[in-house]
Amino acid sequence: MVRVSVFGIGYTGTVSAACLAEQGHQVVAVDIDPAKVASINAGRTPIVEERLDELVSTNHAAGRLSATTDIAEAILNTDVSIVCVGTPGEDTGAIGLSYVTALCRSIGAALVERKGHHSVILRSTLVPGTMESVCVPELERASGLKAGTDFGVGYFPEFLREGTAVADYFEPCLIVYGAMDDPTMAMLRELNASLPGEHHAVDMKTAEMIKYTSNSWRATKITFANEIGNIAKSVGVDGQAVMKILCSDHEVAMSPYFLRPGFSFGGSCLPKDLRALRFLANSNDVAAPLLEGVLEANENQIARAEALVKRFEGRTVGMVGISFKPGTDDLRESPLAALASRLLDGGYEVKIYDPSVKAAYDEGMSGAGRGNDRIGDLPERLVGDLKDLIALSDIIVVGHRYKEAVAPLSALIGDKPMVDLARIAPGVVTGDAYEGICW
């Protein structure tokens, strides 16, 4: 059993804290937001994520999971700190490090009073070299101690997908970590010992680069599939059929999850990390035309969806889904939110069916509406019953393929104007009153 403090009760932090506690470790989650701390201490999750509510509740009840706003207290009473605060993108595209640097300074100050070895491990997404050039110097300046000698430092990127994060944690697709010192490397091995799959112990800069490479590769595959789908449709070919056959070639390790023509990518990672990697390349005078093209093509897919809506008559649009991904309430850089904003600006009335987002608002979760910077009156636009949404709408936009929505929406194909971004009925292609974005 390891005593762990997890800094940041956001998406990655909450999942990491709950799963570490489930593994039997003693975990204290730390955040400056009293509402999030109160949520954990009441045995409730502050965000929507499958199985997370159960893990938070059971581990809090078992005494393995608690939360605090007191950074020093957390450092003094744990063996390792895991930093999961956000690194939002700046207007230039550069990675935003204000949360990371502020927390490194606070942790460094607390380390002065800490007796015995303590490791500081970051999970926040950082461009290659950030640990060495920013995090370590900040920790050393604030503590007056020597990293790698007086305290440990490591980097442990996460590869959790929202909506399946708990399953991803316990059955990881990739385990990568790096450290400056042997005790921290040993700590990382212990924290991951029970997890299946190959463990990749590398230097910190390589670990940072693997995280960006993974996210950029996933984003690139989505855009590639969309472009193929758009071209295929233009010549009367089903783009999904093309990509499905291409993905049967497992020898080149193509993942069908991403190589499936559809709508734009979004969320807290892929757009931001692509911009940051592009910024890094430009800063080092390295040409990166594909990264430029991926971001442009992703925006084009949103414009394409808007154009498809405008082909139909009617002024009330019912959107099925508004979060960036089904099964989560996260709206950070959601392409569906961007589409809704475009339609609102164009004079359309927009109604929205999204069970996870509505649940977050209805239950008063502290994270409700996180990432929403496009729809000011979002709660008022949410409709709890799909039948009501259908009745209110002139045009249906299918953004997410919810199980309960498949049958009623499939029954509407050809009868009610529909723009399908998620393929509600496999095999159906564009026809009367129905537009599939890539088929």
For the annotated binding site for NAD(+), the residues are 31, 36, 87, 125, 162, 272, 332
Q: Residues 19, 84, 104, 269: which is the catalytic one?
A: 269
In b/e form, how buried is each residue of 167-193, taking b as 16+ CB within 10 angstroms? Answer: ebbeebeebbbbbbbebbbebbeebbe
Q: Could you tell me which residues come within 8 angstroms of residue 402 by beta carbon, excluding any fewer than 6 positions away?
A: 320, 321, 326, 355
Residue 136's Cβ-side half-sphere holds a number of Cα atoms within 13 Å equal to 20
Which tokens hold the place of 44?
A: 């409730």
What DSSP string describes 68-105?
A: ES-HHHHHHT-SEEEE----PBPTTSPBP-HHHHHHHH
Q: In whole angstroms, give the CA distance from residue 251 to residue 74.
A: 47
Q: Could you tell me which residues come within 8 angstroms of residue 279 by beta carbon, excluding any fewer than 6 positions away?
A: 92, 93, 94, 95
Task: Please indicate whether residue 173 is annotated as part of the active site.
Answer: no
Q: In whole angstroms, give the CA distance from residue 164 to residue 283.
A: 35
Looking only at the bridges linking them, the beta strands covering 316-320 and 395-398 are parallel
User: Containing H/E element for 391?
Assistant: helix 386-392
Under 8 Å between Cβ of 62 and 24: no
Binding region for substrate? 159-162, 211, 258-262, 266, 325
Residues annotated as catalytic (active site), given as ranges: 269
